Amino acid sequence: MATSTKNSAAIPVDCTTCQARADGLCEGYAPDDLRVIAGHKSGDRRVKAGQEFLSLGEPCDAIYNLVDGWMVLYNLLEDGRRQILHFALPGAVLGFHPAHGAMMTYGAQALTDAVVCVIPHKALRPLSRQYPEIGLRLAWLIARDSSLSFAHLTSIGRHSARERVAHLILELFIRCRSRWPGHRIEEMHLPLTQEHIGDATGLTGVHVNRVLGDLKTDGILTFSYRHLSILDPDKLVDVAGIDPELLQSWIGQGTPEQHARAEAYGGGYRHSA
């Protein structure tokens, strides 16, 4: 296990009540199957907000299923600048490498208090033989995150600063909102700072502050003290430069209820080409 995980605290997770099941590795399994799957785990860990969980260049011999909380995946340049690669939400799988003994190619830090369950790489082969859907589910989760990463790369490479910030905020809002019971709630706690937004979009803190101010002035959204309020969803979708029909791809397979929420949010709004 990566040495940075040693500072995390052990905590038991009840697989039958795990809130990440609907969008995670164990989606759709009955309680008896979950008990068998749990037997392949090497433990569960709690990670405090701000704590480094995985470090660049360290060996990793387990996958970590994010049960609760947010984590940020990042890379560091030689001069200390950070590029945020992805924001991991409950259901995400961290630490998977196809090659035995591979080193971590990214770091992971807890944005909020988080909980992960740990499955050793050596347990994946017997587990996937017993439950073939696990292997397919793991492949799908990795593909979903790759798709999100491609969208981030395109946004940073081709979008204006205003479009980048709008795209990131809209993505995180849709991914979180798909878990909520209501369809038309446009407010949420977003556990990011302007520095996080800058590191994810390749912008300085001053530039991010200016863009957020412009979006507020234009009546599109407000973001202050980690509280996000979307004032005009139509305009936000337009500024982000994404077809509303593609919003469902940000939650991937999900559940029928999650897709209904994404469709209700994006499909009902106009889109300017």
pLDDT on residue 81:
93
**Looking up tokens 């202050």, which residue turns up?**
224
Q: In this structure, are residues 189 and 204 in contact, taking their beta carbons and an 8 Å threshold?
A: no
d(Cα 225, Cα 189) in Å, to the nearest integer?
9
CATH class of the domain comprising 155-266: mainly alpha
What's the pLDDT tens digit per position in 70-112? 999 999 999 999 999 999 999 999 998 867 667 899 999 999 9
Domains 3-132 and 155-266 share a fold: no
User: What is the Rg, in whole angstroms, of the alpha carbon atoms belonging to the chain?
Assistant: 19
Give the CA angle between residues 187, 188, 192 to the nearest 5°.
130
Angle between helical axes of 205-217 and 161-177 (0-180°, round to 10): 70
Q: Where are the domains of the chain?
A: 3-132, 155-266
What is the pTM (predicted TM-score) of this model? 0.85
- Distance, C-alpha 160 to centroid of its chain: 23
Spell out a b/e string for 120-135, using b for 16 or more CB atoms within 10 Å of the CB, else e.
ebebbeebeeebeebe
Confidence of residue 9 (pLDDT cuts 50, 70, 90): confident
Helix 132-158 crosses helix 161-177 at what angle (to 10 degrees)?
150
Selecting from 2.60.120.380, 1.10.1740.110, 2.60.120.10, 3.50.40.10, what CATH number does the domain 3-132 have? 2.60.120.10
- 195-244, pLDDT tens digit by residue? 999 999 999 999 999 999 999 999 999 999 999 999 999 999 999 998 87
What pLDDT, on the 0 to 100 scale, is given for residue 6?
53
Q: Please enumerate in sequence order all residues whose Cβ is within 8 A of that of 153, keeping only pairs 6 or more positions apart, or say none.
A: none
Across the range 17-37, mean pLDDT stands at: 84
> What is the rounded end-to-end Cα distance, in angstroms, of the chain?
48
Where does the pLDDT of residue 268 fall: very low under 50, low under 70, confident under 90, or very high at 90 and above?
A: very low
